[in-house]
Amino acid sequence: MRGSSLATRLFLSATAWVVVILIITGVVLSSVYRDATERAFDRRLNLYLRTLIAEVATPDEPPDHPFQSLGEPLFELPLSGWYWQVVRTDGEKAEPRVSRSLWDKKLPKLEEHGAELTAAGIRLGYVDGPEGQNLRMVERPVDLGADGKFLIGVAGDASEIFDETRSFDYYLGGTFAALGIVLLLTTIFQVRFGLAPLKRISESIADIRSGRAERLEGEFPVEIAPLARETNALIDANREIVERARTHVGNLAHAIKTPLSVIVNEAAAHPLDSFAGKVLEQADVMRDQLAHHLERARIAARVTVVGTVTEVAPAIEALRRTMEKIHRDRGLSINLKADPQAKFRGERQDLEEMAGNLVDNACKWAASQVFIEVLVEPPATPSAGPKLRIIVDDDGRGLSAAERAQASRRGQRLDESKPGSGLGLSIVVDLAALYGGSLMLGDAPIGGLRAELVLPGV
């Protein structure tokens, strides 16, 4: 059941338990009913047996006198399935006395079938009768003293027991099938109704992540309300931690930049001193390092904020207009094709920083045109979100494979004649990675470099 929902797992589990319980209950009830039917049948046989014993032991009649009717016409009907038999066991030769229904057949002895005497002095069991009938038989040895010893048996058609049990099983199966359907429908209703608050929480959390809401709102059952409260408290704590981290980053930047500026100013006052020149060189490295790591800290703090969504098309259009103004004297053509539904799961200033670096880099190297395209890709799997793809092409000289690998490293500049610190692409790579995205460099169809930025969408 990998990947299945909680409601599905609960339903399958409840279904399995219902089926198992109904089967066990059905087997037990069927067994109990069969035993009860068998005992009732045995009482009937014992009644006939006692009547026969009374006939055999009648002191006023000889042992071989003809028996009166036992009150059951089936004993008179040939091969009816109901039989009695009296066999003398004291050694005297005498033909067994049998019911008319046996015709010229004889009943087997239960003792020969391994049946043991019960505490009441009788044997009970199933035997095969005439015509292949399945018989339930009761047998009892009787000692009449001087009148002799006898083995008296009465057998009845066991199909009555089997038919009664089978009919009961049919009715029981139908009843339990209907009961099972009712229980399953009830379980479905209970699972759906009981898990509805959890589904609401899941949808609310999705709204928070997508920026449509800031907190879990609404009334929840008392069992779920603590979960909603703790989730809201966690969101508040997360925002507070992020805000505190931003404050610390800003304080750290001011605390370090001020003494660093003093060092640079003091070193710049001695331009001819080689030591001062070395200090200025290392101070520039420190500034780059400081800018890079503070930027990463600032970015990481912002990325942890839950529920921020940015419209992409307006932000990229603003960048396009800005770059057109900056590079107006070069006559660059900057074209944009953006999906109006594109949304970025993050803050606008981060999107502007990543896309701005790519567009600025393309404008610096382009000969005459820059093309920007914004696409939204559907999720690869149901559990994943859509992907935002920002493609920036220029018609410059492009980059080789080695230059592409070098270009995204921190502080690497391929052409010192172009302005910049060499941190642009590395910042894009770092910021995209923090959002779970990536930056890929390749060949543009218009002849230069293609920068393809993949970010989480909404």
pLDDT per position as a tens digit, 362-380? 998 898 999 999 999 888 7
User: What Rg, from alpha-carbon coordinates, does the chain have?
Assistant: 48
Residue 87 lies in a domain: yes
| Position 416 pLDDT exceeds 60 | no
| Position 45 pLDDT exceeds 80 | yes
C-alpha dist (Å) from residue 263 to 282, 360, 421: 11, 32, 20
What pLDDT is attached to residue 401? 79
Name the band, by pLDDT with cuts 50, 70 and 90, for residue 421: very low
360 and 380 both lie in a single domain = yes
In this prediction, what percent of the chain has a pLDDT beyond 70? Answer: 86
What pLDDT is attached to residue 211? 62
329 and 358 both lie in a single domain = yes
267, 287, 303 - which closes a domain: 303
287 and 314 both lie in a single domain = no
| Position 392 pLDDT exceeds 90 | yes
Name the band, by pLDDT with cuts 50, 70 and 90, for residue 40: very high
- Mean pLDDT, rounded, for 15-30: 89
What pLDDT is attached to residue 422? 42
- Mean pLDDT, rounded, for 450-457: 91
Residue 208 lies in a domain: no
Phi-psi category of residue 425: left, alpha or beta, with phi > 0 → left and psi -120 to 50 → alpha? alpha
What pLDDT is attached to residue 168? 93
Residue 210 CB: number of other CB atoms within 10 A?
17
The pTM assigned to this predicted structure is: 0.47
What pLDDT is attached to residue 415? 44
174 and 278 both lie in a single domain = no
267, 284, 303 - which closes a domain: 303
Residue 416 lies in a domain: yes
- Per DSSP bridges, beta strands 83-88 and 97-98 are antiparallel
Reduced DSSP (H G I as helix, E B as strand, rest coil) percent helix, strand, coil of the chain, to 5? 55, 15, 30
199 and 332 both lie in a single domain = no
The two tokens of residue 159 are 């199909």
- Per DSSP bridges, beta strands 333-338 and 369-377 are parallel
Integer Cα distance of 384 and 203 in angstroms:
15
Q: Report the SS3 class of residue 142.
A: strand
- Residues of the domain holding 32: 1-203
CA nearest 215: which of 234, 199, 196? 234
Residue 212 lies in a domain: no
The per-residue pLDDT of the chain, averaged, comes to 81
- Mean pLDDT, rounded, for 157-170: 92
Name the band, by pLDDT with cuts 50, 70 and 90, for residue 157: very high
Residue 209 lies in a domain: no
| Position 411 pLDDT exceeds 50 | no
Residue 32 lies in a domain: yes
Name the band, by pLDDT with cuts 50, 70 and 90, for residue 2: very low
- Mean pLDDT, rounded, for 441-448: 88
In this prediction, what percent of the chain has a pLDDT beyond 90? Answer: 23
264 and 323 both lie in a single domain = no
Task: Tell me if 108 sits within 8 A of 98, measured CB to CB.
Answer: no
Name the band, by pLDDT with cuts 50, 70 and 90, for residue 164: very high
37 half-sphere exposure, CB direction, 13 A CA radius: 19
The CATH number given to whatever domain includes residue 46 is: 3.30.450
343 and 390 both lie in a single domain = yes
Tell me 234's DSSP state. H
**pLDDT, tens digit, 9 for 90 and up, residues 178-207:** 988 888 888 788 777 777 777 788 777 777
58 and 148 both lie in a single domain = yes
**pLDDT, tens digit, 9 for 90 and up, residues 60-114:** 555 555 565 567 788 888 888 899 998 888 877 777 888 888 888 888 888 887 7
Give the chain's domain count: 3
What pLDDT is attached to residue 13? 79
What pLDDT is attached to residue 67? 61
Of residues 290 and 412, more confidence is placed in 290
361 and 450 both lie in a single domain = yes
**pLDDT, tens digit, 9 for 90 and up, residues 286-298:** 777 777 666 666 6
What pLDDT is attached to residue 418? 45
What pLDDT is attached to residue 162? 92
- Mean pLDDT, rounded, for 142-169: 90
What pLDDT is attached to residue 39? 93
What pLDDT is attached to residue 303? 55
DSSP string covering 153-219: EEEEETHHHHHHHHHHHHHHHHHHHHHHHHHHHHHHHHHHHHHHHHHHHHHHHHHHHHTS-SS--S-
Structure-derived torsion over alpha carbons of residues 392, 395, 401, 405, reported in degrees to the nearest 10: -50
427 and 329 both lie in a single domain = yes
Find which of 115-129, 210-224, 278-292 is predicted with most confidence, using mean pLDDT. 115-129
- Mean pLDDT, rounded, for 3-14: 67
Residue 213 lies in a domain: no
Residue 7, Cβ density class (10 Å: 0-12 exposed, 13-18 middle, ≥19 buried): middle
The CATH number given to whatever domain includes residue 410 is: 3.30.565.10
Q: Which helix (H) or strand (E) holds 243?
A: helix 225-268
Integer Cα distance of 340 and 342 in angstroms:
6
Name the band, by pLDDT with cuts 50, 70 and 90, for residue 417: very low
1 and 143 both lie in a single domain = yes
260, 284, 303 - which closes a domain: 303
Residue 219 lies in a domain: no
- Mean pLDDT, rounded, for 22-50: 92
**pLDDT, tens digit, 9 for 90 and up, residues 237-280:** 877 877 777 777 767 767 777 787 878 787 787 777 788 788 87
What pLDDT is attached to residue 265? 81
CA nearest 350: which of 293, 410, 289, 301? 301
24 and 95 both lie in a single domain = yes
**pLDDT, tens digit, 9 for 90 and up, residues 301-352:** 555 555 577 899 999 999 999 998 888 888 889 999 999 999 988 888 888 8
